Amino acid sequence: MKTKRKNWHSAHRSQLTPSQRIADAVAATMGSWRLIIAQSIVLAVWVLLNVVAWIDHWDPYPFILMNLALSFQAAYAAPFIMISQNRQAERDRHQADEDFRTNVEAEQRIEDLQKHLASIEVNKLNRIIELLEGRSGLHLKIGDESHERVADESSRCAWRSGSLAQLQQG
């Protein structure tokens, strides 16, 4: 009963358009520790170089150019991240549907197995009852014969007792 299916995730990845792949790559990069650490280092160096002024101040204290660059980065990255999140939600819905279908199939298989096991149990019990009834019939036959023997012995004993009683009286 094995069914050959392609892994859902690999099937889903193979259907991605180039723009969706780019959106996923940008979102994965923007949400990585690697980028956060690298960006933190760049910002610290930026501030340090502009405060210490070893070189000419290209962005003095309120750091307007740095704020502009960060705003541009956020505005540029936000649509990529939203596209990726929407696709993730779609992927999650599809995965939930696949999980539900798998669970229904598994439930059906379990019910079939339970029915099969129940029928095996009923067949075993019926066989045991048949065997016990066969033995009971045999026991009844043996019991009847035993009762006949006991009755014969009892009548003999009674005859002997009666004979003995007559001899004693006589």
Mean pLDDT in each 10-residue stretch from start to end of the chain (170 residues)?
61 83 89 94 92 80 93 93 92 93 96 96 92 73 56 56 54
Angstrom CA distances, 6 to 3, 88, 114, stand at 10, 20, 29
> What pTM does this model have?
0.55
Please indicate, yes or no, if residue 65 is contained in any of the structural domains: yes
Instruction: Kindly state whether residue 35 falls inside one of the protein's structural domains.
Output: yes
What pLDDT is stored for residue 15 in this prediction? Answer: 84
Q: Which domain holds residue 83?
A: 18-169
- Structurally, the chain folds into a number of domains equal to 1
Predicted local distance difference test score (pLDDT) of residue 31: 85
53: left (phi over 0), alpha (psi -120 to 50) or beta: left
Q: Is 46 domain-assigned?
A: yes
Q: Would you say the C-alpha torsion 86, 92, 94, 97 has a positive or negative sign?
A: negative
CA–CA distance, 99 with 104 (Å, rounded to integer): 9
Kindly state the tokens that stand for 20: 């969706």
User: For residue 2, is it within any domain?
Assistant: no
Residue 48 in any domain: the answer is yes
Which residues are within 8 A (CB) of 60 and not within 5 positions of it... i.e. 6 or more apart? 50
Does a structural domain hold residue 5?
no
Residue 13 resides in a domain = no
Structure tokens at 63: 């750091």
The pLDDT of residue 34: 95
Q: How far apart are CA 43 and CA 35, in angstroms?
A: 12
Closest CA relative to residue 32, chosen from 77, 75, 69: 77
Q: Determine, yes or no, domain membership for 1.
A: no
